[in-house]
């Protein structure tokens, strides 16, 4: 049985649920909400209709709030023009519109900005509501599902490659990227197990990560493109001047709103299921295609106008669902109103919280949206929405976690001493060591010199021509050693967190550890004026994992819940990173951006020394803990009966993983997906009977060295940071782990 079957189909017909048996559904009169939404509002008992809520008071209140915020937006900003003068201009009292200064401040700056905020917020709110309805997933949102990242990739592609600077050009490329992302999201939603709310969000994160990595490839070696990107990516309305851009994009926004309105009735029928929708005369495939088109039009226009603003669709849909229930018509209307109100309110705050500067509006929205995401995940309705850990529903704990019998060990004896070595794990470690040595030689060979592989191999070990040895060991091997240390630390950290959470997806980057460590290093650099010290990474990682663990209610018991909380933490930390980069000069920000993408450029033995020292201490500790950690793959009661204290083992493993991931980030920045892939590959090689501690470290080191080599030779004369390479390749790998038959939590 797959996780999606266990998490969705087994949870809904439970005896304690208020949902009626599936066989009763056709006999109910009137439209019915999908089962996953029933516990949210249906409190009248089994088989009884959902109580109707009047929509007009909420809609009227939302309109009044929106008008009040719009008036505030027109009254606040540069120019020292108060509400009275704004009203004079709007009513043209005493010829106020003839005042050039007043016309500039109100007519060309504040009024277009307010109207743009209203339309962009409404567009993202409606797009989020449409996605939530078509996927039956309250976590669906254009930012979380990678649609914003696809649109951003399209815009950056136009800027960096073709020099696009017009609003129509932005729209065209944003539309193409959003179409691709929306298509991938709907394919994930329709795939086996992909419709689960948690899996869909994680799949969207994989899509967004891949698109983000491709965006990094385009801008990392183009200072001009990066300079425009680093301000635009924060999402801002400060660049809105006059009506030209809005006038050009208004027809596209209008088409998106109209299409969303036309899909309301088919979406209502689709909520009953594809078969019932067909019986009512609708075509589910055409409905999904129309929704995808509407979402793409709205998102692409919003991104072209204001840049990517994440969490807004999620927040607007959450508020609309909370006050009006899941009926598609109400949800779409109120989500548009709430989205517009939230964005206008965030824009007003962005203008006043950091005077005389202006804060990025996306950061303000993220500060509100990330807690909303956490509130959804922690709500009592999470079990009915398949948000609880599906690993617990997949099988009885002892049976689910019980590893297969190990292969016969290899016994080494010397007198009275004997040592048992796992045969398969030993062979896997030897193979990985040989592959790692070959990768080191190939990486040392990759460069501008005339060294062949034979001379490079000799120089690695200090033999051969003196100049060859100097070139390899002085200028190349230091970087390789730093990559080996960082990769081994990430692989080991991923092995510990995956085994600890009993979930293959519970890795440092998905738990917010990497972004927390990155933010801490940048903050320390801002305070000290120099690049952050090595200990800032582990400290930031510790703070991030403590927050995620406490907010999610534990790391080991709710694997998928902690992942989504980790995504919220990552979003907040990433916002801090982007703000820090935007405040720096172009040269400083450019070099720091390369590091925040994950780079080994300029790394040497001295920088790698803290990680090597940490590995020398932490790897033996991890090997000692691994034996007890393996017992945790059983139920906690079984582990306690075997003499293992689950709480102490989890705490020790968590601290080890945080220290390792933080040290790695301090050396080469956040290199993504290595901690995800290394334990999976090592586990396949060593077998499922044991925790692959040593194999994960070796595999992580191998992946980082190979990715760094690929980034140096893929494009002649251009170096792609290792973190961008692993991100581009790691997104599809995450989708394979998430949606494949072997993608269930370990």
168 and 290 in a single domain? The answer is yes
Lowest mean pLDDT, pick from 93-107, 193-207, 542-556: 193-207
Query: Is residue 490 within 8 Å of residue 664, measured between CB atoms?
Result: yes
**What is the spatial distance between Cα 67 and Cα 249, in angstroms, rounded to a whole number?**
23
Q: Per the confidence metrics, is the pTM higher than 0.75?
A: no
What is the longest distance spanned by two Cα atoms in the chain?
107
Q: Residue 558: pLDDT above 50? A: no
Lowest mean pLDDT, pick from 129-133, 543-547, 576-580: 576-580
Q: Is residue 625 part of a domain?
A: yes
**What is the spatial distance between Cα 558 and Cα 565, in angstroms, rounded to a whole number?**
11
Number of H helices and E strands in the chain, helices first, is 33, 2
**What is the spatial distance between Cα 195 and Cα 279, in angstroms, rounded to a whole number?**
23
First to last CA, the chain: 14
**What is the spatial distance between Cα 740 and Cα 684, in angstroms, rounded to a whole number?**
15
Lowest mean pLDDT, pick from 22-26, 59-63, 440-444: 22-26
Report the sign of the C-alpha dihedral through residues 393, 398, 401, 407, in that order. negative
Q: Which of 742, 677, 680 is nearest to 209 (CA)?
A: 677
Q: What is the mean pLDDT of residues 354-381?
A: 73
* pLDDT grade for 676, boundaries at 50, 70 and 90: confident
In the chain, pLDDT over 70 holds for what percent of residues? Answer: 78
* pLDDT grade for 685, boundaries at 50, 70 and 90: confident
**What is the spatial distance between Cα 341 and Cα 72, in angstroms, rounded to a whole number?**
11
Q: Residue 398: pLDDT above 90? A: no
Q: Is residue 312 part of a domain?
A: yes
Q: What is the mean pLDDT of residues 532-554?
A: 75
Of 315, 345, 369, the position where a domain reaches its end is 369
**What is the spatial distance between Cα 78 and Cα 108, in angstroms, rounded to a whole number?**
12
355 and 471 in a single domain? The answer is no
Q: Is residue 412 part of a domain?
A: no
Q: Which domain holds residue 466?
A: 443-739
Q: Which of 510, 740, 524, 709 is nearest to 600 (CA)?
A: 709
Residue 485 tokens, joined: 């240390």
Q: Which of 201, 668, 305, 341 is nearest to 480 (CA)?
A: 668
460 and 362 in a single domain? The answer is no
347 and 467 in a single domain? The answer is no
Question: Bigger pLDDT: 421 or 59?
Answer: 59
H or E element in which residue 420 lies: strand 417-421
326 and 464 in a single domain? The answer is no
Q: Is residue 416 part of a domain?
A: no
Residue 222 tokens, joined: 């183009």
Q: Residue 503: pLDDT above 80? A: no
pLDDT score recorded for residue 77: 74
pLDDT score recorded for residue 498: 83
Q: Is residue 673 part of a domain?
A: yes
359 and 473 in a single domain? The answer is no
96 and 179 in a single domain? The answer is yes
* pLDDT grade for 546, boundaries at 50, 70 and 90: confident
Of 344, 369, 394, the position where a domain reaches its end is 369
Of 341, 369, 397, the position where a domain reaches its end is 369
* pLDDT tens by residue, 329-353: 888 899 999 999 999 998 888 888 7
Question: What's the domain count of the chain?
Answer: 2
Q: What is the mean pLDDT of residues 238-250?
A: 80
Average pLDDT, the chain: 75
| DSSP bridge partners of 420 | 411
pLDDT score recorded for residue 702: 93
68 and 208 in a single domain? The answer is yes
**CATH code for position 546:** 1.10.3470.10
Q: Residue 481: pLDDT above 80? A: yes
Question: Bigger pLDDT: 540 or 13?
Answer: 540
**What is the spatial distance between Cα 483 and Cα 479, in angstroms, rounded to a whole number?**
6
Q: Residue 442: pLDDT above 90? A: no
* pLDDT tens by residue, 562-576: 777 777 788 778 777
Residue 51 tokens, joined: 């109580």
In the chain, pLDDT over 90 holds for what percent of residues? Answer: 8
Q: What is the mean pLDDT of residues 464-484?
A: 81
Residue 715, SS3? strand
User: Looking up tokens 């990025």, which residue turns up?
Assistant: 360
**What is the spatial distance between Cα 307 and Cα 234, in angstroms, rounded to a whole number?**
7
Phi and psi at residue 411, to the nearest 5°? -95, 125
pLDDT score recorded for residue 37: 37
Burial class of residue 82 in the structure, from the number of CB atoms within 10 Å of its CB (0-12 exposed, 13-18 middle, 19+ buried): exposed
* pLDDT tens by residue, 580-627: 776 777 777 777 778 888 888 877 777 778 777 877 888 788 777 777
Lowest mean pLDDT, pick from 388-392, 485-489, 523-527, 623-627: 388-392
User: Looking up tokens 């720091």, which residue turns up?
Assistant: 592
**What is the spatial distance between Cα 148 and Cα 299, in angstroms, rounded to a whole number?**
7
* pLDDT tens by residue, 163-191: 777 767 777 888 888 888 878 877 776 66
pLDDT score recorded for residue 390: 40
pLDDT score recorded for residue 16: 38
Lowest mean pLDDT, pick from 311-315, 478-482, 550-554: 550-554
337 and 202 in a single domain? The answer is yes
Q: Is residue 407 part of a domain?
A: no
Report the sign of the C-alpha dihedral through residues 419, 422, 425, 427, in that order. positive
364 and 458 in a single domain? The answer is no
pLDDT score recorded for residue 14: 38
* pLDDT tens by residue, 111-164: 888 999 999 999 999 998 888 888 777 777 777 778 888 888 888 888 777 777
Question: Bigger pLDDT: 557 or 44?
Answer: 557
Is residue 217 left, alpha or beta, with left meaning phi > 0 and alpha meaning psi from -120 to 50?
A: alpha
Q: Is residue 41 part of a domain?
A: no
Lowest mean pLDDT, pick from 35-44, 443-452, 582-591, 635-644: 35-44
Residue 718, SS3? strand
**What is the spatial distance between Cα 298 and Cα 7, in angstroms, rounded to a whole number?**
32
pLDDT score recorded for residue 532: 54
Q: What is the mean pLDDT of residues 210-226?
A: 82
Q: Which of 182, 593, 725, 574 is nearest to 174 (CA)?
A: 182
pLDDT score recorded for residue 443: 87
Q: Is residue 553 part of a domain?
A: yes
581 and 493 in a single domain? The answer is yes
324 and 467 in a single domain? The answer is no
Cis peptide before 2 (omega within 30 of 0): no
């Amino acid at each position: 049985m797959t996780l999606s079957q266990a998490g969705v189909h087994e949870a809904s017909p439970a005896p304690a649920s208020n949902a009626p048996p599936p066989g009763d559904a056709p006999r109910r009169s009137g439209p019915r909400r999908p089962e996953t939404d029933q516990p949210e509002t249906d409190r009248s008992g089994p088989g009884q209709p959902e109580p109707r809520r009047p929509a007009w008071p909420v809609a009227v209140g939302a309109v009044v709030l929106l008008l009040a915020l719009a008036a505030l937006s027109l009254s606040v900003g540069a120019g020292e023009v108060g509400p009275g003068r704004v009203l004079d201009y709007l009513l043209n009292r005493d010829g106020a519109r003839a005042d050039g200064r007043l016309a500039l401040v109100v007519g060309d700056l504040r009024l277009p900005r307010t109207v743009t905020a209203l339309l962009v917020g409404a567009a993202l709110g409606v797009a989020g509501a449409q996605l939530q309805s078509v996927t039956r997933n309250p976590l669906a949102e254009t930012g979380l599902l990678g649609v914003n990242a696809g649109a951003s990739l399209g815009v950056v592609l136009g800027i960096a490659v073709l020099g696009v600077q017009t609003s129509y050009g932005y729209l065209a490329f944003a539309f193409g990227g959003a179409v691709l992302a929306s298509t991938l999201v709907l394919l994930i939603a329709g795939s086996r197990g992909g419709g689960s709310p948690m899996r869909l969000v994680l799949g969207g994160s994989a899509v967004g990560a891949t698109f983000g990595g491709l965006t990094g490839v385009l801008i990392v070696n183009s200072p001009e493109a990066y300079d425009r990107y680093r301000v635009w990516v924060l999402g801002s309305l400060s660049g809105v001047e006059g009506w030209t851009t809005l006038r050009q994009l208004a027809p596209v926004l209008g088409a998106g709103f109209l299409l969303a309105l036309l899909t309301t009735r088919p979406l209502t029928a689709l909520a009953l299921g594809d078969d019932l929708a067909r019986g009512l005369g609708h075509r589910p495939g055409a409905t999904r295609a129309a929704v995808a088109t509407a979402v793409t039009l709205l998102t692409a226009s919003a991104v072209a106008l204001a840049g990517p603003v994440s969490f807004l669709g999620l927040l607007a849909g959450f508020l609309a669902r909370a006050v009006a229930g899941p009926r598609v018509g109400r949800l779409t209307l109120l989500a548009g109103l709430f989205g517009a109100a939230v964005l206008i309110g965030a824009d007003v705050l962005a203008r006043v919280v950091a005077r005389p500067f202006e804060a990025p509006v996306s950061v303000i929205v993220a500060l509100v949206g990330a807690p909303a995401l956490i509130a959804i995940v922690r709500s009592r309705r999470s079990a009915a929405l398949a948000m609880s850990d599906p690993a617990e529903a997949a099988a009885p704990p002892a049976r689910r976690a019980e590893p297969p019998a190990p292969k016969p060990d290899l016994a080494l004896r010397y007198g009275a001493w004997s040592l048992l070595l796992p045969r398969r794990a030993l062979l896997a470690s030897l193979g990985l060591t040989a592959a790692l040595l070959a990768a080191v030689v190939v990486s040392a060979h990759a460069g501008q010199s005339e060294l062949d592989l034979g001379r490079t191999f000799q120089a690695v070990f200090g033999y051969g021509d003196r100049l060859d040895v100097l070139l390899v060991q002085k200028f190349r091997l230091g970087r390789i050693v730093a990559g080996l240390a960082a990769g081994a630390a990430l692989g080991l950290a991923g092995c510990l967190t995956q085994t600890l959470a009993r979930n293959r997806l519970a890795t440092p980057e998905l738990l917010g550890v990497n972004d927390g460590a990155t933010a801490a290093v940048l903050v320390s650099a801002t305070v000290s004026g120099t690049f952050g010290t090595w200990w800032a990474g582990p400290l930031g990682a510790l703070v991030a994992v403590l927050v995620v663990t406490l907010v999610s209610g534990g790391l080991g018991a709710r694997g998928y819940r902690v992942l989504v909380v980790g995504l919220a933490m990552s979003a907040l930390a990433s916002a801090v990173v982007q703000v820090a980069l935007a405040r720096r000069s172009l040269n400083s920000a450019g070099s720091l951006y390369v590091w925040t993408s994950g780079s080994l450029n300029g790394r040497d033995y001295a920088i790698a020394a803290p990680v090597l020292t940490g590995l020398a201490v932490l790897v033996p500790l991890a090997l000692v803990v691994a034996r007890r950690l393996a017992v945790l793959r059983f139920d906690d009661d079984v582990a306690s009966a075997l003499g293992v204290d689950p709480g102490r083992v989890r705490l020790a493993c968590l601290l080890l993983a945080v220290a390792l991931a933080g040290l790695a980030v301090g050396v080469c920045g956040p290199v993504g997906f290595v901690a995800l892939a290394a334990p999976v590959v090592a586990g396949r090689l060593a077998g499922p009977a044991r925790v692959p501690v040593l194999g994960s470290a070796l595999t992580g080191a191998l992946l980082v060295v190979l990715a760094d080599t690929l980034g140096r030779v893929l494009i002649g004369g251009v170096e792609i940071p290792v973190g961008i390479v692993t991100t581009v390749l790691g997104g599809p790998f995450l989708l394979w782990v998430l949606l494949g038959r072997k993608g269930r939590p370990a």
